[in-house]
Each structure stands twice: as C-alpha cells, then as structure tokens.
A and B are shown apart, each in its own frame.
Chain A
Amino acid sequence: MNNKITDISSQEKNSGTIAIKVDGLNKWFDKFHVLKDISMSVLEKKIIVICGPSGSGKSTLIRCLNHLELFQEGSVSIFGQELLNDKKSATLIRENVGMLFQNFNLFPHLTILKNCTLGPIWLKKIPESKAVEQAMVLLDRVGVSKLVSKYPGQISGGQQQRVAIARALAMEPRIMLFDEPTSALDPEMIKKVLDVMIDLAESGMTMICVTHEMQFAHQVADQIIFMSDGEIVETGPPEQVLKNPKWDRTSHFLQHILSHTS
C-alpha cells in the first residue's frame, strides 16, 4: 500500500496528545473511489481547515471520523480509541466528537432548549433541571438565549446553526467537526456563526472544519489541508498553503475561491 504519510504536525510531535489519527484510509462508494490513502494526525487543541473543490471527499472524510460513514480500508483512532465497525465503538467515539452540518439538522419537532437538553438527559442521564441550566449557559454563549422556547422552523438559518453548535457542545465533546457550516447562510449570518466558531477555537477546542471561508482559515487555522479527487494534495500552515501553494491544483482553486468572495 502506498502510504504517503502526511503528518501535519511533524514539528510538534512531542508537544501534545494526538486527538485524531488517520492511517491509510480508503473508501469506496460502490466502485467509486472517494478517499484514496488518506493519512493524517491532528494534535489536541488544533484547528484544521479542509478545503477543496466539491466532490473531492472532504465531507466524506470528516463523516468517517465520527462513524457516520464506514470505510473499507485503513484505520481511524480518536484519542487512541480505534474506530471499529460496530455500534459500541460508534457510541464511544461520538461521546468525544460533536458535529455540525451544512443544513443545521436541528430536530424540528423540539424547541431550541429541548434540542440542546435531549442528548444530556437521555445519554448522560443528567437531571432535567441541571441539563436546562447547562443548555442556557451554552445558548447564551452562542447568542440565542432569547429564542429558547421557539421551534427551529421559526428562527433564521444563522440562529439555527448557532443552536446546532450549542447542541453539540452540550454533549461536552473534545473534538468538533464542521461540515461546511456556513455554506447555506447569507453573509450577514455567516459572520455571526464564524464569530462563535472563532470563540470556540480560542477556548481550546480541537476542530476540523470543512469550509470555503478562507479568511476564517487564515485567522484561526493551524493547518490547512487541500483535497482534490479523494486525495490530500497539499497540507501546511495557512500562510504557506494560501500564499505560496506547492501545487498548481491548489493555487488554481484558491484563485477561484478568492476571486469569488472578494
């Protein structure tokens, strides 16, 4: 097997715990090879931004990290816990990993508050009053504490995404995965969601974000991973990847994205 180890934290190997380790990950959808020999490791409290053209396997990669997608070859471990193909392993992994989606995916039949207390009450067995207390703190932190009794269908997309962040944080994850969290929002709302994400990054959360927000990447990312056609094309600190990419493919994509956003 051709293992291009793309260790994105080689200089800092001894300076922190490895949060995520992916080794020789291969995945096929039927006969379509979506992920080709992906290897990477992420240190705790680091912010990784994954970008690349659509269909390059970014979303699939992060969905593999919390067992939403199964893979056929290779290994993923989260805080040393190997991801196996069974339910028990999935629950263990998900305790540590929260996830945000492009379409927010709040539970539309529950109020904002209940969206955030459901997990703690049913999974952590926290008494309701305490779960509500904790959820209120989180909802306040993301700036939507006035909307607690509304339903997701009654609030804006940006507010929904911030509620989704609070819902994920309520489970006290050590890693957060973001799957294009701002792609379905208009610019005014993007700003507020990104502010929350920046706040989260500064508080020391380990984050992996699939996003096209290059300014955000530049501001907070420790590493940028550029993917194309199921492979990691380029990886490095934002300065390097954004300013002088090694590969033609990367600079071509970046030109497109930057000309579109500015």
Chain B
Amino acid sequence: MGKLTNPKAELLEFVPRPSRPPVVVTYGFTGWLKKHLFGGFWNTLQTIAVFSLLYLLLKPFIEWSVIDAVWVASTRRECLEISPDGACWAGVITWFNNLIYGRYPDELQWRINLGFGLGLVWLMPLVLKKLKNKIGIAIMAVVLYPFLANYLFIGGEPNGLHYIIACVALAYLMMIYINIILIYTGCQLLEQYLEPLLERISPKKAALLSHVACWFVLSLLIVSIFQGVQLQHVPIDMWGGLFLTVVISSFAIVMALPIGVFLALGRRSNMPVIKWFSIAIIELVRSVPMITVLFMSVTMMPLFFPNTMDLNKLSQVIIAVCIFAGAYMAETVRGGLQAISPGQFDAAKSVGLGYWQTMFLIILPQALKLMIPNIVTSFISMFKDTTLVSIIGLFDIMLMARNISIDKDWYGLHSEPLVAISFIFFIVCYGMSQYSQSLEKKLKTSR
C-alpha cells in the first residue's frame, strides 16, 4: 500500500478532461428512415416486401371493420341489407351496455361506476408524496374496500353488519381525504387535534387512540346519514359483463401475491409440515386445468364448508380462482427468491434481523422488483383466464358476447362481439403492461 506511491514529489497534477455530450447519430425523421428502412438495396427491398405483405393482410380487415361497416341499424337483417360484406357494429353498440354491466338493471348501473370510482379514489393518495403511512392505506384498501364495493353492488337494507362495515370503510376513506386537505393546507392531521385531550388518559397510545376515535366518530356519522338511503337489492345472478370479469380478476390479482408469497416461503421452509403442504398445493393446483378447478369449486367446494354457510356461486368461483392464481404466483415468486444472492441473507442475519424481517424488509422487496415482468404477465393471464367462468354459467363479458348471437334481432352475429371484446381486453392488458414498465423504471435503483 503506502509504499506504492511514486517517490518523485513534483509531479504534474492529473485533471480529467471534461465530459462531452454524446454524439448525435440520427438526423430527424428522414434520417431515421434512411438509416433504418432504406439503408442500401437489400434493406429497401425488405422494407417494401414487408409493407406490401402488411397491406395485403390488413386491407381486407380494414375494409370489413371500417370501410364497409354498419354502425347504425336495429337488426342484423338491416345491417346485411345496407352492406352485406361489412361488420355490423350496430349489434355490439346496442348490446354494449350489457357487455359492460351484464344483466345489472340499467337504472342502478351508477352504483357500479360509483363502486369502482371509490376504488380509484382510494388508491389515488398512494401517489401523493407528502402523505405518510401509505402501506396502511393500501392494506385498508385491500381489507375494507371490498365490503364497501360489495355493499354498493349488491345493495340491501341499511342495517346489519355488512352495512356498518361499508360505512366504516367509507369513514376511513373520508378520513384519508380530510387529512390530505389538512396536510396540503399546512394544518395538523385530524387526529392530532384530539391527541392532547387523550394524552391525559394514556400518554403512550394517544396517537393510536385519537386515530381510532376520529375514525369511530366519522363512522357513526356516516352510519346515521345513510340510514335513510335504501339501495335496491341486486342478486348476484344479475351481475355480469366486464363488471363481473373485473370483480373476479381483481380478487385473483390482489390475493395472488400474498398467497403466492406465503406458498413460496412455505416451499423453501425448513419445517417439513409447512413445506410439504405448500408443495402439495402448488403442484396439485398447477397440474389441474383451470376449468376442472372451476367445476370442482362449484360442485365440490360446498362439501368442505359447514351446511349453515351458504356460499353463492360467485364466491366459490372467486375462492377457486384465488387459489389457482396463488399457486402459479408461488412459483413466480420462488424464482425471484432464488435470484437473490445468499450474501443478502447473511448480511440481514448479521445485522440481527429475524426471519420475517429479513424476508419482508430485505429479500422480498428485491425479489418482487426483479419479478415485476413475470408477475404482471401472470396478472394479465389471470385477467384473461377469468373468461373461463362463462363455462360454469356466470354471465361474464365472454358469455355476454356469445349471447349477442342468439338474440333474436342479432341472430348469428358471431365475429363482431368477439372483435369488440378483444379490443376491450387489449386496452386493459396493454395498460397493465405499460404500467408495469413505468413501475420498473421508477424502482430501478442501480445504474
């Protein structure tokens, strides 16, 4: 070490050259065209060949779907009279409401919109920078929001436990937003106004107590306000369309990760019972087709529950889909866990972290970040796989699309509804994939 330095004392000092901006390689759009599409004879030839092939393939589709298409008509016969070779979008447009909401009564569909709207409103604070306790908000969204949404969707008398939980959830949401307003106007949090009062009773837990107290008061307020509002009961049989697809797949997507994480940790566990149990579930579920699992959920699941518990078809299906999704997710997560170097476990242990702390603070954040592309791929395929529930008679978007062709006005209209729902699926799935990519960029921490 020290000996290696040069003995000559008077050396010139080395000053690094300043960095230059990178050389620009493309010159606008035409430059790009020249470089990538028409650079040289063969490149030009290939470009022309590919484009003419595309033209040949796309032309008939565009003629069918846009140029010759019929947008306004009252029956399929009318469509065929106007343009026999074009698509009959009029049928899809007439049925569009049913594609989205299934057989849910038209005048009550605002409740579905409100339900999903509240979900978005609940998740929006998660992007705010000033807000703390985001994990709490997210967990509450997972735990409480389903009750609120379900109450809105299904309706019923404003009494009973379900109504109260829905009100408690709404109170929590209100509290988040009151606090956001208070934070951004520079005031204290709502519960901090109450804290000095409660400090006399229990100084240590004053913060928690005042939080709960505010929540409780707001809940009472909301329970009494909405006491007079009657939401008409809509039985689950009436749910359908994209709405039902989203309900089932969001359960699957939200539950898949926790189930998957615990199954994956279980599979790597040293405790034999947990290990074999996890392996059994993962391998069993993965080796059985999803349709089988769905049929079994409807016919066999009631055998495993007490007679007094009246499970409807939807909840049976949701349980089955969640387990299915979780088992697949477990293997995805396990792949991520294996990519983490053993050194990270050593380091976490040497700092003194226990098993769960090591997993949730050190290993899983890294593993899940690595697995974002795979996780989102699973999410996308889960979203698409839920169309299989149409086979066991749930009126999801797929079954609604098939039903257009047996409607007496639109008899035989097969392709157009399928093209339309493909388009809807594409928008949703492409959105998920884009979101995952922006998430990856945001979470990137190394060079």
Contacts and interface: CB of A to CB of B under 8 A. Distances in A.
Contact of A151 (B355, B369, B445): B445
Given A87-B354, A122-B353, A153 B447 contact: yes
B447 A101 contact: no
Interface string B327-358: 00000000000000101101111111111010
A191 B347 contact: no
Interface in B418-447: 443, 445-447
Contacts of B366: 107-109
Contact of A108 (B3, B354, B361, B446): B446
B23 interface: no
Given A119-B353, A167-B351, A187-B4, A153 B446 contact: yes
Given A119-B351, A123-B357, 15 more contacts: A68-B350, A91-B352, A94-B349, A101-B346, A106-B347, A107-B347, A108-B366, A119-B353, A123-B352, A123-B353, A153-B446, A167-B351, A171-B351, A187-B4, A262-B3
Q: Most B CB atoms within 10 A — which of A91, A95, A105, A123?
A: A105
A-B CB proximity, top 8 nearest: A153-B446, A105-B347, A99-B350, A151-B445, A105-B343, A94-B352, A119-B351, A109-B365
Interface in B306-346: 341, 343-344, 346
**B-side interface mostly:** helix
Contacts of B343: 101, 103, 105
A109 B354 CA distance: 19
A51 to B, nearest CB: 16
Interface residues on B, range: 20 to 34
Q: Most A CB atoms within 10 A — which of B347, B349, B352?
A: B352
**A-side interface mostly:** helix
Contact of B347 (A91, A101, A154, A187): A101
Contacts of B348: 107
Interface string B1-17: 11110000000000000
Contact of A68 (B2, B344, B346, B362): B346
A105 B363 CA distance: 12
A90 B349 CA distance: 9
Contact of A190 (B1, B3, B347, B365): B1
B354 A191 contact: no
Contacts of B447: 153-154
Nearest to B349: A68
Given A95-B352, A101-B346, A105-B344, A122 B357 contact: yes
Contacts of B445: 108-109, 151, 153-154
